[in-house]
Amino acid sequence: MPEHNFLLVRLGSMGDVIHALPAAAALRDTFPGSRIDWLIDRRWARLLAGNSDLTNSISLDRKSAGGLMRAIRELRSARYSYAIDFQALYKSALLAFSSGAARRVGFQSSYAREGLASLFYTDCLNPRGAHKVDHNLTLVEFAGARRSRPRFPITVHPDDDAQVADELSTRALSKFFVLNPGGGWHSKCWPAERYGELHRKLAQHCGWSGVVAFGPGEEELARQVVDAAGHPAPIAIPFGLGPLMALLRRASFLVAADTGPLHLASALGVPVVGLFGPTDPARNGPYDAGKGHAVIVRNPQFSETTYRRGDSISRSMLSITVDQVFQAVQRLVEPRE
């Protein structure tokens, strides 16, 4: 089989990058000697560090015109055979086009978030399969990749692990779970006070300690969870992406909605309880859901599947009760103890 040079374009965000990792793995398994580069937003580049399926990870600084031009020059110098755009936005499609690749592969306009992005592709495909992982595999299979067992190679850096170990030791935390109340879409989130109530229930019934993970701009949300939990209160720790990876790898389990940390924890092999409302877990959930490492909580009778980004918590997420989530944690964790 002839070797090719491949450019993969998935700039962000966290969960979407993770769902594209098996596509890179399939290419590497099929074309072991090929150059396989990934263009990613600098904010998310840590997700690809140490990934042996890739030849290079090219970080894009979109805030700098100079950074953008440097990235395009680097792309053009590689003379890619294929540029494969998993993101299907104008910006990602334009970057694939700017690479000068002879074949530019992406999704058809009916599937793409920004349909006219498909005008920049030489080959437009309808995705096959139910899950986003399967959709991404559709694109690389067109380029000749053979489907292999999906893998999610996430590497935790020793310095990040040491920082987290020090933080946990300072707080005398050894065994703990993580609550992640934030999310990019408010319509996918679960109320902060319910995370607090869940923590109180877990602490009282099981004696577990909780950590609230949160990112920039989510300080108030984390405070609301801590206040609602009462005593003993969870510990709220702000971590960057690298330390968050290290924290999740050490956790007993994670509870989160359909957000990046849910998919990151799942990729790291950490048991998760995923709370789903407007988005379909068969499409967007942890890829191993139903195989013992993930329990999904969703009330279909209240859930209208939609991928429109809402500014307030959806009715479907409000329908999820604390008792439902507590029982899901029990199903996930108790057989492991």
pLDDT in tens, 170-215: 999 989 999 999 988 899 999 999 999 999 999 998 888 999 999 8
Residues 199, 54, single domain; the answer is no
Over residues 158-168, the mean pLDDT reads: 96
- Residue 207, domain CATH: 3.40.50.2000
Residues 199, 173, single domain; the answer is yes
For 31-89, the pLDDT digits (tens) are 999 999 999 999 999 999 999 999 999 999 877 778 889 999 999 999 999 999 999 99
Residues 256, 285, single domain; the answer is yes
Residue 223 located in a structural domain:
yes
State which of 142, 171, 197 marks the end of a domain: 142
Residue 111 located in a structural domain:
yes
Residue range(s) defining the domain that contains residue 106: 5-142
State which of 142, 169, 190 marks the end of a domain: 142
Residues 99, 218, single domain; the answer is no
Residues 91, 191, single domain; the answer is no
Residue 147 located in a structural domain:
no
**Count of the separate structural domains present in the chain:** 2
Q: What is the pLDDT of residue 336?
A: 56
Residues 211, 64, single domain; the answer is no
SS (H, E, C) the chain: CCCCEEEEECCCCHHHHHHHHHHHHHHHHHCCCCEEEEEEEHHHHHHHCCCCCCCEEEEECCCCHHHHHHHHHHHHHHCCCEEEECCCCHHHHHHHHHCCCCEEEEECCCCCCCHHHHHHCCEEECCCCCCHHHHHHHHHHHCCCCCCCCCCCCCCCHHHHHHHHHHHHHCCCCCEEEEECCCCCHHHCCCHHHHHHHHHHHHHHHCCEEEEEECCCCHHHHHHHHHHHCCCCCEEEECCHHHHHHHHHHCCCEEEECCHHHHHHHHCCCCEEEECCCCCHHHHCCCCCCCCCEEEECCHHHCCCCCCCCCCCCHHHHCCCHHHHHHHHHHHHHHHC
Residues 130, 34, single domain; the answer is yes
